[in-house]
Amino acid sequence: MRANVVEAAEQCGILSLAAVAEPLALDRYLGQRGAQRLLVFCDEAADSDNPIAALRGAREAADGIDVLIGPEGGFAEEERALLLRQPHILRLALGPRILRADTAAVAALALVQAALGDWGDKNVLADR
């Protein structure tokens, strides 16, 4: 992962590197993350027809954004229940197909960037 970060930074001409943390158990991660941050929980079982609209609707709640995708095979029911008890959560489906974990990560980040990033409306970031 660290090598991927370095290569991506070089390719984009970025001078700073993203941090790569050691893997954590889900409950430990949730216990240490900032509760004020929006947690975008990508769940194939979610009932969201328009993830971009849902993200835009959650914009005011975001003091930073964490994006969480599930493992291959999806979340276990107890993991899903734990996630749904978190503050500032937005549960999204990434479409009608089940995606591989690596593809789901790219799709989720593209949705967040399209809805909340700097691709389109220049006032989106100013409104936050």
Total domains present in the chain: 1
> 56: closest CA among 6, 106, 7, 123?
123
In a domain, 107, yes or no: yes
The predicted-structure confidence for 33-54, as pLDDT tens digits, reads as follows 988 888 999 998 888 778 888 8
Domain that holds residue 71: 24-126
pTM of the model: 0.76
What 8-state DSSP symbol labels residue 45?
T
Q: In angstroms, what CA-CA distances link 2 with 48, 56, 58, 89, 103?
A: 33, 31, 31, 28, 19
User: Mind listing the pLDDT tens digit for each residue in 70-116?
Assistant: 888 888 999 999 999 998 899 998 888 888 888 898 999 899 888 88
In a domain, 1, yes or no: no
Does the CA dihedral 21-64-44-79 come out positive or negative? positive
Instruction: Decide if 46 is inside a domain.
Output: yes
Find the CATH number of the domain harbouring 67. Answer: 3.40.1280.10
